[in-house]
C-alpha cells in the first residue's frame, strides 16, 4: 500500500529534483485519508479482541486465525480504532508519521509468532509452560490486544487520560516488535532479548520525529519484563499480562482466567505447603520451620506453592508466571491469609513479611520471612514439631530483627 501511494505521488508530483515544481510535502497521516477510501474490503479478521472491549470474542482451541484479506494491517477498521479517533492528538504531539511507520512495520512482520522460540528470552523463559499455546498468537494479534486493554486501563487510571493516548498506543503496539523474525535473524539475539531490541527498533522508527514522551516509552518497553515501580510501565505490564491471560484461555480448553479470589483456595494452599515444614533438604536448606505458635516461611516457597495451586486449579495468572511480578504474587498470597486471620500479629495490617533473627547456641541468622499461625494447618502443633531434624532442632529463639 505504501509503495502504491508513493508511485501515485511520483506521477502527480513528477520526478524528484526536477526543479520545475515547488516542493510539496505530504505527511503519512494525511495520506491515511487516501488509503482509507480504498481499503473497504480489508477488514482484520485474525485479531482476537480483548475481553471487555467492543467486539470482543473468544477463540477456542483448534480454530483458525485467518489473515486479513490482502494481508494488510492498514484496514479501515484498524485505522478507525487506533488513529482516526485520535488524529488531532497524534498531530499535536508530532507522533502521527512515526505511528503510521510503526503500523507499517507490524503490517510487514506482524504475522510472526508472539512468543520467541529462543532460549534466554525473558518472556519465553517465564511463559515456558504456555509457549505451545501462545505461539499460535501472532505478534500483530498480541500487540493489538495489548493496545485495546491499555486504552481501557488508561481511562481507569488517569484523570487526564486522553492526552496520554498516543503515548499508550505507541508503547502497546511497539513493546514487542523486537520479536519479529527479521530482527531475530539479524543476530541481535546474541546480544539482547526482545524488550531491548524492541526499544532500539522503535527508536529507529521515530528517528527525526520524536514526540516529547518517546524516551519515556522506550524506557517502559525496555523494562516491561523487569521489576519496576514506574506507574506507566506498570500499566503496560498489566495490559501485557491481561492480554496473555486472555489469549491462553481463548486457545486452551483446559486453562481459564479468573479473579484471584475465585481460584485461590487458602485451605488447599496450606495443604500443599504442609509437607515441607521442618524438612531439611540437600545442602541443609529448608523452606519452612516451626517455632512456638508460628511457622516461618521463606517467601519464594510460598510463591512456588501458589504456582502449584494455580496449575492444579487450571487457572492462568501472569503474576505467577512472570518473575518480574513475583513480589506482587507473594503479596496476594499474604493478603489472602491475612483476610482469614492466619498471619502472625508481627505483620500487622500492611506488612507482607518481616526480618527475623533466628538464634541458637551455635548461630544467629537474619532472614526475611512470613510467619503463619501454626494452628492454621489443621493438625496438632506437636505433630509438626516432631518432624524437626538437624539444626532446626537447635533453634532456641526467633525474634524480630533488631530486638
Per the document, the length of the chain is 403
Under DSSP, the state recorded for 285 is B
Q: Would you call 40 helix, strand, or coil by DSSP? A: coil
Which residues make Cβ contacts (< 8 Å) with residue 15, sequence separation at least 6? Answer: none
What pLDDT band is residue 9 in, cutting at 50, 70 and 90? very low
Tell me the per-residue pLDDT of 187-222, one tens digit each, with 9 for 90 and over: 766 666 889 999 999 999 999 888 999 999 999 999
Tens-place pLDDT, residues 304-348? 999 999 989 988 888 887 777 889 999 999 999 999 999 999 898
Is residue 258 over pLDDT 60? yes
Report the pLDDT value the prediction gives residue 35, as an integer from 0 to 100.
Answer: 52
pLDDT more than 90, % of the chain? 51
Q: Both ends of the chain: CA-CA distance in Å?
A: 71
Higher model confidence: residue 37 or residue 359? 359
* Residue 7 confidence (pLDDT) above 70: no
The per-residue pLDDT for range 147-187, each reduced to its tens digit, is 999 999 999 999 999 999 999 999 999 999 999 988 877 77
pLDDT at residue number 208: 85
Q: What's 143-162 look like in SS3?
A: HHHHHHHHHHHHHHHCCCCH
Q: Of 131, 93, 103, 89, nearest to 39 (Cα)?
A: 103
With contact defined as beta carbons under 8 Å apart, do 75 and 103 qualify?
Answer: no
Q: Which of 51-55, 79-83, 108-112, 254-258 has the lowest mean pLDDT?
A: 51-55
Indicate if the pLDDT at residue 69 is higher than 70: no
Q: Give the closest residue to 107 by CA, choosing from 133, 129, 139.
A: 139
The residues, ordered by sequence, that sit 6+ positions from 35 with a Cβ below 8 Å of its Cβ are 1, 5, 74
Does the pLDDT of residue 376 top 60, yes or no? yes
In this prediction, residue 125 carries a pLDDT of 58
pTM beyond cutoff 0.75: no
Q: Where are the domains of the chain?
A: 2-255, 258-400
Amino acid at each position: 500500500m505504501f509503495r502504491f501511494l508513493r508511485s501515485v505521488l511520483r506521477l502527480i508530483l513528477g520526478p524528484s529534483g526536477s526543479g520545475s515544481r515547488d516542493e510539496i510535502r505530504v505527511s503519512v497521516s494525511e495520506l491515511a485519508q487516501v488509503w482509507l477510501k480504498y481499503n473497504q474490503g480489508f477488514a482484520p479478521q485474525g485479531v482476537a479482541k480483548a475481553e471487555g472491549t467492543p467486539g470482543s470474542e473468544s477463540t477456542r482451541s483448534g480454530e483458525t486465525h485467518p489473515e486479513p484479506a490482502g494481508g494488510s494491517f492498514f484496514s479501515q477498521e484498524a485505522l478507525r480504532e487506533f488513529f482516526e479517533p485520535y488524529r488531532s492528538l497524534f498531530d499535536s504531539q508530532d507522533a502521527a508519521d512515526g505511528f503510521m511507520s510503526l503500523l507499517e512495520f507490524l503490517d510487514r512482520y506482524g504475522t510472526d509468532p508472539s512468543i520467541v522460540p529462543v532460549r534466554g528470552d525473558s518472556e519465553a523463559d517465564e511463559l515456558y509452560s504456555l509457549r505451545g499455546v501462545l505461539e499460535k498468537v501472532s505478534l500483530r494479534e498480541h500487540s493489538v490486544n495489548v493496545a485495546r486493554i491499555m486504552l481501557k486501563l488508561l481511562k481507569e487510571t488517569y484523570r487526564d487520560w486522553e492526552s496520554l493516548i498516543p503515548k499508550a498506543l505507541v508503547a502497546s503496539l511497539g513493546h514487542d516488535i523486537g520479536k519479529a523474525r527479521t530482527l531475530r535473524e539479524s543476530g541481535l539475539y546474541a546480544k539482547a532479548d526482545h524488550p531491548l531490541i524492541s526499544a532500539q527498533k522503535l527508536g529507529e522508527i521515530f528517528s527525526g520525529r520524536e514526540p516529547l514522551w518517546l524516551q519515556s516509552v522506550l524506557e517502559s518497553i525496555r523494562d516491561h519484563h523487569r521489576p519496576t515501580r514506574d506507574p506507566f510501565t506498570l500499566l503496560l505490564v498489566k495490559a501485557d499480562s491481561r492480554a496473555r491471560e486472555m489469549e491462553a484461555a481463548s486457545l486452551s480448553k483446559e486453562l481459564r482466567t479468573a479473579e484471584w479470589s475465585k481460584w485461590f483456595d487458602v485451605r488447599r494452599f496450606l495443604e500443599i505447603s504442609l509437607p515441607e515444614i521442618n524438612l531439611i533438604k540437600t545442602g541443609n536448606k529448608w523452606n519452612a520451620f516451626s517455632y512456638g505458635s508460628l511457622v516461618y516461611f521463606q517467601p519464594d516457597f510460598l510463591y512456588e506453592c501458589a504456582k502449584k495451586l494455580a496449575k492444579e486449579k487450571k487457572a492462568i495468572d501472569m503474576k505467577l508466571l512472570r518473575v518480574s511480578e513475583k513480589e506482587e504474587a507473594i503479596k496476594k498470597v499474604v493478603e489472602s491469609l491475612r483476610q482469614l486471620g492466619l498471619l502472625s500479629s508481627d505483620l500487622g495490617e500492611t506488612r507482607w513479611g518481616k526480618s527475623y533473627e533466628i538464634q541458637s547456641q551455635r548461630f544467629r541468622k537474619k532472614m526475611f520471612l512470613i510467619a503463619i499461625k501454626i494452628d492454621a494447618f489443621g493438625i496438632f502443633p506437636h505433630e509438626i514439631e516432631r518432624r524437626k531434624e538437624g539444626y532446626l532442632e537447635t533453634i532456641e529463639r526467633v525474634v524480630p530483627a533488631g530486638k
